[in-house]
Amino acid sequence: MAVAVVTGASRGIGRAAAIALGAAGNDVVVGYAGSPAAAEETVALVTQAGGRAVAAQADVADEQAVAGMFDLAEKEFGGVDVVVNSAGLMLLSPLADLDLDDFDRMHRTNIRGSFVVAREAARRLRDGGAVIMVSTSVVGLQFPAYSAYAASKGAVEAMILVLARELRGRNITVNAVAPGPTATDLFLNGKDQSVIDNLAKQPPLERLGQPEDIAGVIAFLASPAGHWVNGQTVRANGGII
């Protein structure tokens, strides 16, 4: 039985990924930033899906807190085999109007947080494991107002193949999943219905993604069936690009 640490697992794609991994037989550490009640809901849903789960609060940019998540996984379940970094922050603004405090907050979570989680994974993942980072298809779509967010996720994509090569000899895969417009609170907040409807029409499949769509790709990459995929960014977006 494998053990997974999933950040940002109290909601959205992270929650769906935790449930999918639990259903596949993984034990799951449900990482969350600020909502213990929501995290416990995820724990209950993972348990209902057939896995064992515990919640762990951690700011992904805090190396001590992230180390604590891994400590908990080792204490409760014996080690770590899969790491999914789904924690993220999205603050939108035209570049000319960008609030640099927002820029710093977002890049602290999305860049520093991703590197902190990846660093801990590189140090402590058992051989044969998998690291899956969550990026965004906006890196390629390049919508107006997304410059800082896309830049932060572009940094995540830039490290994937590098880390995969650095882990040579340990049979560990490192990949990113880049969702397109997906019906999560992170995406829906602040958008009026006309914008949402327009984006839903863009993919040839003519709908928004659902968290479960992305979770299925994550679970595949974490499984033996997905282990020959390495150093890649998988754009799970219904064909919007």
Question: Catalytic residue numbers?
Answer: 149
State the Cα–Cα distance between residues 8 and 218, nearest whole angstrom.
14
Structure tokens at 72: 């908990």
* Residue 177 β-bridge partners: 134, 234
Measured at the CA of 212, the angle between CA 1 and CA 19, to 5 degrees, comes to 35
- For residue 43, the one-letter residue type is V
Structure tokens at 84: 């999914």
State the Cα–Cα distance between residues 86 and 179, nearest whole angstrom.
11
Could you give the C-alpha distances from 44 to 48, 79, 170, 184, in angstroms and in order? 6, 21, 33, 20
Whether the CB-CB separation of 146 and 92 falls below 8 Å is answered with yes
Place of tokens 């033996």: 224
- DSSP, res 95: G
